[in-house]
Chains A and B, each alone.
Chain A
Amino acid sequence: MEKERKIKVLIAKPGLDGHDRGAKVLSFGLRDQGMEVIYTGRRQSAEQIVNSALQEDVDVVGLSILSGAHLTFFPKVVNLLRENDAGDMLVIGGGIIPDEHIPILKEKGVTEIFGPGTLIKDIGDFIRKNVRKIA
């Protein structure tokens, strides 16, 4: 019998923002919940992120930005994934995101935005509930 595959998550920091505490903490936390986590490090372009996601065949792409460039980067990643037939990957975002921007991002295909103070437990629960069926 085939063993159930672990949920695979890519945590990425698009753009030049270097505040990586949240991204690293989330990487540790999801790993502790039994997921396989790949952290890209800082200064990733949307293309680089999507390439890593495709190469690693992840189930979830988590994007963290604190610099205000989320309206550019998040939709770009979603679109590139769709163009590469990976529109079923779950894309979630976090960082300093004004509330007014959340509906805009969701409309553009980001499934959920997690602001500061979110418990990693809750992010984990959300992923397990919404991730694509793992073959």
Chain B
Amino acid sequence: MDNKDKLSEIKEKRKEWEEKVLMPSAKRFGIEKSPTEFYTPLDIADFDFERDVGFPGQYPFTPSAYPISLVPRIEKGAKPGGLKRAGTYSGYGTPEDTRDYYKQMAKIMYTGGPNLALDLPTQCGYDSDNETVEGEVGKVGVAIDTLRDFEVIYEAFTGEQDLDRIATNITISAAANILVAMYIALAEKRGINMAKLRCTPQNDILKEFVSRGTYIFPPRPSMRMFRDSVVFFTENLPGVNITSIGGYHIREGGATREQELAFSMAIGIAYLQEGVNAGVDIDAFAPKFTFNGFGGSMQLFKEVAFQRAARRMWAKILKERFGAKKQDSMRIRCPLSAHIGCSSTTKQRALNNLSRSVVGAIAGVLSGGSPMAFPPYDEPLGLGWSLEARQLAEDATRIVMYETGMCDVIDPLAGSYYVESLTNEIEDAAWKGLEKIEGIGGAVTAIENGYMQRECARSAAERQARIERREELIVGVNCFTEEYELDVTTSKIIEHPYSEEKRYDAEKKQKANLAEVKRTRNNREVTRLLKELESAAKKEDENLMPLFINLAREYATLQEQCDVLRGVFGEWQLDTFV
């Protein structure tokens, strides 16, 4: 019997089952309008294993970006103490505070390179002594004004942890090139060749316009800055990733799954095009694109299918549109796959966020990646992650990794009628969304005219309305909220490594640090170089990276450099789009 006959037989049997078995039962339970779904070969009638799934780490990358699971094996009988704890997003107050924090964390085996969180003034190109940012210095991350601040932070990273041995992540987009230049200047001072540096600046400015909000310049000059990094990194920083893109922030900003995928693909295309326009070979730079994460919701299967669809879509774009030849160019390089995202956590009965994060970690494995129970449960409480919450999250990740056997198999759902058809569905919808954006003129135009921002805001409002109508349920928020439910919390065991006192003093201290730098540096040279920056910025072809390095060496501040660029590029006009 060939496939077609087989399918028509299944179809017939399915109809019979629906009539005689499903519907009577659904009626009995009062769910005849939306009975439980069940997927069969009929839902993927044109399925072709090699074309649609293929093998892990090979085009079209549906099962996984890599041929093996990246979960570190605990060798039989080996003591797993050597396994490092995951480096986590952190940065607190002054550079001194952050240095001390990393030193303390290393003692409890949270080792490896830092994943630096920066305060908002730094992300938006302001110095700590600027009056308009009072109250924000050292909040949400560490303050960086000059090279001096990197020098201090990295006192925690020497010897075995020197800059040629660790990888640094920096969550910085608008001012990414200026911070990378400071990192290079620091390496120079330590006598480390920049070719040996490993680092990932986020450097994903377009999503800042769509959702996260730490932009400085308008989209087009921002893209010129991006081009400078593509070209400079490709030539001089082979161990540094150019960007860490992804739709995670767009989703957190309210986008639907399909919008997120379409928007981040459109944004990725815009970045790739910058490299191509600059005359760089696609296979020379595309492998240095990384991804910091896609998606994030409680919808387990949809997130799993979403990751599979994202990998397939990116691979097609690289191969078919940009003519990439190397597999490395087509791969979504990302340490993680599915997860729940921060916006799925609730402040109400916050310890339930541990349960939620476990669902995300499972989804991660099921989507062809490594598990990560994230975020720590106290994320929405606004006090920084406690070590207790981090312990629980980390143990949860380890349990999924080592107790469940889940990570022995890659893409374990390959072939599932439900997951394969959901993957197709999400990919199809995203292609449609992408076409729309390309009709508008691509990502930059769709940001300039506010299309992406409006779409996100609209989707966020729709979701909120569904929550208020209880069409979407959140346990402890819009259901199961009776007074007899208990808000269970954990006992405090140890102090948070960053104290309240330090938090209080950080702004004053960092202002003093900056004043001292300004007093002792060669101010004439700084002024001269800033002039040079101004004239170079005016020439569209000029690559500003070498100048940023010179400025870093002379302890020019972040804002001094950004102010020059503001003068040339202009500032992005805040548009509310509501």
Contacts and interface: CB of A to CB of B under 8 A. Distances in A.
Contact of A21 (B123, B126, B460): B460
Chain A interface SS verdict (over half):
loop
B105 interface: no
Interface string A1-29: 00000000000000111111100110111
A90 B311 CA distance: 49
By size class, the interface of chain B is: 35 or more
Contact of B253 (A21, A39, A69, A119): A21
Nearest to A26: B464
A69 B213 CA distance: 16
Given A15-B120, A67-B139, A116 B460 contact: no
Nearest to B255: A21
Contacts of B494: none
A117 B477 contact: yes
Contact of B139 (A42, A68, A117): A68
A115 B347 contact: yes
A41 B382 contact: no
A16 B347 CA distance: 23
A72 interface: yes
A109 B559 CA distance: 34
B254 interface: yes
Contacts of B252: 19, 21
Contacts of A120: 464, 468
Given A96-B382, A119-B467, A120-B464, A21 B139 contact: no
Contacts of B136: 15-16, 67, 69, 72
Nearest to B346: A117
For this complex, into which size category does the number of interface residues on chain A fall?
Answer: 35 or more
Contacts of B108: none
B135 A29 contact: no
B347 A69 contact: no
A16 B121 contact: yes
A77 to B, nearest CB: 12
Interface string B534-578: 000000000000000000000000000000000000000011101
Nearest to A99: B381
A29 B461 contact: yes
Interface string B110-153: 00000000001101101000001111100110000000000000
B464 A18 contact: no
B284 interface: no
A72 B468 contact: no
Interface string A27-45: 1110010000001111101
Interface of A: 15-21, 24-25, 27-29, 32, 39-43, 45, 67-69, 71-73, 96-99, 115-117, 119-121
Given A17-B120, A71-B135, 20 more contacts: A16-B123, A16-B136, A18-B211, A18-B212, A19-B211, A19-B252, A20-B213, A21-B254, A21-B343, A25-B457, A25-B460, A25-B461, A29-B461, A32-B465, A42-B213, A43-B124, A69-B135, A96-B381, A96-B382, A116-B346
15 contacts: A15-B120, A18-B213, A20-B213, A20-B253, A27-B578, A29-B465, A41-B575, A43-B574, A67-B140, A69-B135, A69-B139, A72-B136, A117-B346, A119-B467, A119-B478
